[in-house]
Structure 1
C-alpha cells in the first residue's frame, strides 16, 4: 500500500463559475433586493429604539 490509499480521498476542485452578464431584469431584481434589505435594516433599527410595537391586547382587571 502506498501513501493515501487507505485514507479519505481528496475531493476534486469544483470548476470556477463563469461570470454571466446581467440583463435589465436581473439588474432590476438585484436593485429591488438591495432596497428591501435596506428597508428591513432601517425597520430593525427603529424597532430597537422604541418600546413595544403594539399597545393593545387583553388587560388584567387589577382586582386582588
Structure 2
C-alpha cells in the first residue's frame, strides 16, 4: 500500500429511488395515519396538565 491510497474512500452512490405510483389503498392508508397522528397529538395536549404525574419531581416534606 502506498501513501496515496490512505484515508477514507468515497462511498458508493445509492441508486435513485423510483417514484412509485400510489394506488387508492395507499392513499387511504396514509390519510388514516395522518388522522390518527392528529388524534394522538390532541389526546397528548388534553392529558398534559392533569393528574398527579403532571407536577413531576421529588416532593419535599416540610420537616427539618
Q: Deviations over 1:7-36 (max 9, x none)?
A: 232111111101111000000000000000
Q: Is the partner of 1:21 in helix, strand or coil?
A: coil
Distance 1:41-1:33 versus aligned 2 partners, 3 A rule: same
> RMSD across aligned C-alpha pairs, in angstroms?
1.9
Structure 1 moving runs of 4+ over 4 Å? none
For this pair of structures, how many residues does the alignment match? Answer: 52
Distance in 1 separating the partners of 2:10 and 2:17: 21
Question: Structure 1: which 5+ residue stretches go unaligned?
Answer: 54-64
TM-score normalised per structure 1 = 0.68
